[in-house]
Structures are given as C-alpha cells and as structure tokens.
C-alpha cells in the first residue's frame, strides 16, 4: 500500500487529532503517503483533499476538534444534488473513483454510528475501509469507551463544580443539561463525579413529584443547594422528549434541548425554591483532550492503519477494558445504552442515595 486517505465526520470531540497524528506518523514511517479529506463527507464528495506530512501534524494531539474539519449532516449516498435543488444523489461510486484516480488504496474513517454506516457503504463499493469509533455519547457498540467520552466527562465535571459554588451562595437549585442523546453515560459519569444530588437519565423516565420531594428534602436539610444533572433526552414519565430542532438531511435527525429550562421552571413553581437552568451544550465537546483520550485515539488509529496495511478492512476497531477488538461494520444502528442492572457507577450512586427520579 502506497497511499491511503483519512477523514473525520460526525460531531467533533476531543482526541480526533491524536488519531490523525498517529495514522500520519506511523504511515509515513512505513513509506505510505496520507491524504486528508476535509470537512467529512463534504470533502469526500467534493474532492477536498490535502496531503498530510509530519509537519502538518506536529503537536496536534493536544488540540481539541479536528484539523481536517467535520460535518454531522452530509451522507455520501444521500447527498444534496447541485443541479436539482431539494433532490439527493448517491455519490459513493464517483467519489471512490476520484480517490482511486489519485492513487488512494485504503481509507480510515473516524466517526460515530452515522459516519461509520457510510464507511460501510464505501467499503462495500470497493474502497477498503477501516472505521474508528468516536463520540462523547459513549453509545457505540464497537467501543467502550469511545474517543472523546472521557474528556467530555472532565469538561462537564469542571463546569458542575463551578455551578456548585454559586448554587451554594444563593441557596439555589441548578438544573444542568448534558448532551449524550438517548444514552445516559455522559450524564451519569459526570453527574456522579461532580457530586450531583439528582441524576436524570434517558434510560429511566422520571416522576416529577419524586424529583420535587427530593429537592425539598435537601433544601430543608443542612445543605444549601441542589444540583440536578439531566440528560438532554430525559423525559418525565408519560411525556415525550424535548426536541429543539429536526435536521432533515442528518443521519440523527433529532437535536434534543430544553429539558433543563422546563424542569427548572417546574421545580421552582412546585417547591418554591429558586432554580436556574444551565445547558452545558458544546462546551462538553470542545477543548483539549485528556490524556486518556489521546492514548485511546492513538492506539485505535495505529491498529486501524495496521489492519488496512494487512488487507483486513470492512471492520471497526474499538477498545474493551484496554484490549483492542474489531467488529465488522454493523448493518443497522444499535445505540449502546446504560445497562442499569450491571453498571457499577449507577449501582454505586444508587447505594449512596443519589436520586434517579423514580
Ligand atoms: O452525538 C454527539 C452530540 O454532541 C450529542 O450529544 C448531541 O445531542 C448532538 O451531537 C449535538 O449535535 P449538533 O452539534 O448538531 O448540535
């Protein structure tokens, strides 16, 4: 193999640059040229390529985001047509041909479920492809943890610690909304590590009365404030999720948002205690990666490169208890949610009296 390409797509996270750097450094040391595809599947379809040399990746492992850019909307087999507005086209075959025309023999795609589903289609259409899983949501079957999760937890914990001091001063309830889509990993791990009193997860529908009773119990005890960590896709029993927007041409069409504002208002009204909502949003995805993400991304990237070189493609490389494993590209999306019967963080928090709203 003389030339490969690499791309990042889907929502960004910390650790992507470490994966890019590893592929570039290891490939160049093996005499392989690495082409970077810019802006995810936009660059794949519209032939936006750059050559990545050692200079381009110098020190990037400590930087957040991705030097290649990303997009979490475009899909190469359902790509907006330039000629016919509002129509979509399958651009996989001609995009593969364009890469092959410049000598690319294999592709590494770093992304979440939607991205890696497109990677599967690219592989099936004749470009040997290996996937690397990343997402702050930690909801992929291929890896636990995924690249970006540990950093997002750290980012959220630092933010909640700051909220605790102001909540204390003002004797307030602060409702902190976390990302993570339908998986509660990010909210559970950061809520627990930051000492949240109430943690509301998408895996458990909450009862508003139970939440308010807990708030009253804490606010009338010696503690002056309450921190509630709530997942963006959490919902009250019998009610539906809070959706902020729907993006039609996106793999994951729903964007969640608004639960903290709603819940905060309800709590203040029912309990009489002053409450404020706080949406952590993209702060959880941004900033420099923690060491665990730098190391995880590097290990997975090196493994992906070696598989590609050894003609083992059509797979995703992931981590499980520090061991690198590979699985074939799955045919259908299956988000990995929290297993509440076995998850030790959940079971520990429950034993310690953290309220899960049920
Ligand atoms: O999947 C990653 C994620 O950050 C989710 O946690 C969140 O719901 C979504 O992406 C936000 O997407 P966008 O960046 O399009 O607002």
| Pocket (CB within 6 angstroms of ligand 1) | 11, 72, 112, 135-137, 179-181, 232, 255-256, 285
Of residues 52, 63, 72, 60, the one with CA closest to residue 8: 72
The answer to whether 183 touches 213, Cβ cutoff 8 Å, is no
pLDDT in tens, 267-279: 999 999 999 999 9
In angstroms, what is the span from residue 202 Cα to ligand 1's centroid? 15
| Residues 167, 125 share a domain | no
The single-letter DSSP state of residue 316 is E
Q: Which atom of ligand 1 is nearest to the CA of 72?
A: 15
pLDDT band at 26 (very low <50, low <70, confident <90, very high): very high
pLDDT in tens, 37-82: 999 999 999 999 999 999 999 999 999 999 999 998 889 999 999 9
At 4, which helix (H) or strand (E)? strand 3-8
In angstroms, what is the span from residue 243 Cα to ligand 1's centroid? 12
| Residues 296, 270 share a domain | no
Please give the structure tokens belonging to residue 22: 């590893």
Mean pLDDT value of segment 5-16: 97
pLDDT in tens, 90-112: 999 999 999 999 999 999 999 99
Q: 38: buried, middle or exposed (CB in 10 Å: 19+, 13-18, 0-12)?
A: buried
For residue 11, is it within any domain?
A: yes
| Residues 200, 124 share a domain | no
For residue 358, is it within any domain?
A: no
| Residues 263, 164 share a domain | yes
Q: Mean pLDDT of all residues in the chain?
A: 96
- Three-state secondary structure call for residue 48: coil
Q: Which atom of ligand 1 is nearest to the CA of 255?
A: 8
For residue 116, is it within any domain?
A: yes
How far is CA 184 from its chain centroid? Answer: 12
| Residues 220, 173 share a domain | yes
Mean pLDDT value of segment 164-193: 98
In angstroms, what is the span from residue 8 Cα to ligand 1's centroid? 15
For residue 206, is it within any domain?
A: yes
pLDDT confidence of residue 291: 98
Alpha-carbon distances of 37 from 77, 252, 286, rounded to whole Å: 17, 22, 21
pLDDT confidence of residue 86: 87
Closest residue by Cα to atom 14, ligand 1, is: 11
| Residues 134, 65 share a domain | yes
In angstroms, what is the span from residue 199 Cα to ligand 1's centroid? 20
For residue 332, is it within any domain?
A: no
Please give the structure tokens belonging to residue 119: 């990677």
Q: Which atom of ligand 1 is nearest to the CA of 247?
A: 15
CATH of the domain at 80: 3.40.50.450
What positions carry a catalytic annotation? 137
**Is residue 250 pLDDT above 90, yes or no?**
no
| CB-side neighbour CA atoms (13 Å) of 239 | 16
The single-letter DSSP state of residue 150 is H
Q: Which atom of ligand 1 is nearest to the CA of 284?
A: 4
Tokens 């795609």 -> residue = 109
* Predicted model pTM: 0.97
The single-letter DSSP state of residue 291 is H
CATH of the domain at 258: 3.40.50.460
Residues facing residue 47 across a β-bridge: none
Alpha-carbon distances of 200 from 21, 27, 187, 189, 218, rounded to whole Å: 37, 44, 8, 12, 16
pLDDT confidence of residue 160: 98
What is the percent of the chain where pLDDT is above 90? 95
How far, in Å, CA of 15 to CA of 293, rounded? 5
| Residues 248, 273 share a domain | yes
pLDDT in tens, 292-347: 999 999 999 999 999 999 999 999 999 998 899 999 999 888 899 999 999 999 99
Of residues 183, 184, 182, 164, the one with CA closest to residue 174: 164
For residue 72, is it within any domain?
A: yes
**Is residue 251 pLDDT above 80, yes or no?**
no
Please give the structure tokens belonging to residue 339: 């297993």
pLDDT in tens, 229-238: 999 999 999 9
For residue 110, is it within any domain?
A: yes
For residue 347, is it within any domain?
A: yes
Of residues 259, 315, 272, the one with CA closest to residue 129: 315
| Residues 267, 280 share a domain | yes
Which residues constitute the domain of residue 275?
Answer: 149-285+339-351
User: For the chain, what is the domain count?
Assistant: 2
pLDDT confidence of residue 249: 74
Radius of gyration of the chain (CA): 22
| Residues 345, 208 share a domain | yes
Least confident of 26-35, 157-166, 247-256: 247-256
How far, in Å, CA of 164 to CA of 185, rounded? 21
The answer to whether 127 touches 76, Cβ cutoff 8 Å, is no
- Three-state secondary structure call for residue 304: helix
| Residues 206, 132 share a domain | no
pLDDT in tens, 71-83: 988 899 999 999 9
In angstroms, what is the span from residue 281 Cα to ligand 1's centroid? 8
Of residues 44, 34, 48, the one with CA closest to residue 9: 44
| Residues 46, 176 share a domain | no
| Residues 167, 265 share a domain | yes
User: Candidates 8, 9, 10, 11: which one to mutate for ligand 1, based on the most atoms within 8 Å of Cβ?
Assistant: 11
């Amino acid at each position: 193999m003389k030339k490969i390409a690499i791309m990042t797509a889907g929502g960004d996270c910390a650790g992507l640059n470490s994966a890019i750097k590893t592929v570039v450094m290891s490939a160049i040391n093996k005499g392989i040229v690495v082409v970077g595809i810019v802006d995810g599947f936009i660059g794949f379809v519209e032939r936006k390529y750059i050559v990545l040399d050692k200079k381009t990746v110098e020190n990037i492992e400590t930087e957040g985001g991705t030097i290649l850019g990303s997009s979490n909307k475009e899909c190469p087999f359902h790509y907006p047509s330039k000629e016919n507005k509002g129509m979509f086209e399958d651009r996989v075959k001609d995009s593969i041909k364009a890469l092959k025309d410049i000598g690319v023999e294999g592709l590494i795609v770093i992304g979440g479920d939607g991205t890696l589903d497109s990677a599967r289609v690219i592989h099936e259409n004749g470009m040997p492809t290996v996937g690397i899983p990343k997402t702050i949501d930690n909801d992929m079957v291929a890896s636990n943890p995924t690249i970006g999760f540990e950093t997002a937890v750290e980012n959220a914990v630092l933010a909640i610690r700051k909220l605790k001091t102001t909540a204390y001063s003002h004797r307030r309830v602060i409702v902190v909304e976390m990302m993570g889509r339908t998986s509660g990993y990010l909210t559970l791990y950061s809520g627990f590590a930051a000492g949240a009193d109430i943690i509301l997860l998408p895996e458990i529908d909450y009862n508003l009365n139970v939440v308010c009773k807990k708030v009253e119990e804490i606010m009338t005890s010696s503690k002056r404030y309450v921190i509630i960590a709530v997942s963006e896709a959490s919902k009250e029993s019998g009610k539906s999720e809070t959706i902020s927007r729907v993006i039609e041409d996106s793999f994951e069409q729903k964007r969640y948002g608004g639960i903290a504002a709603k819940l905060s208002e309800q709590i203040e009204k029912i309990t009489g205690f002053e409450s404020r909502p706080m949406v952590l949003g993209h702060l959880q995805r941004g900033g420099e990666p923690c060491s665990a993400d730098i190391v995880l991304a590097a290990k997975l990237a090196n493994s992906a490169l070696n598989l590609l070189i050894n003609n083992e493609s059509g797979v995703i490389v992931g981590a499980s208890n520090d061991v690198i494993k590979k699985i074939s590209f799955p045919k259908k999306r299956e988000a990995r949610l929290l297993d509440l019967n076995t998850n030790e963080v959940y079971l520990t928090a429950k034993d310690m009296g953290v309220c899960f709203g049920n």
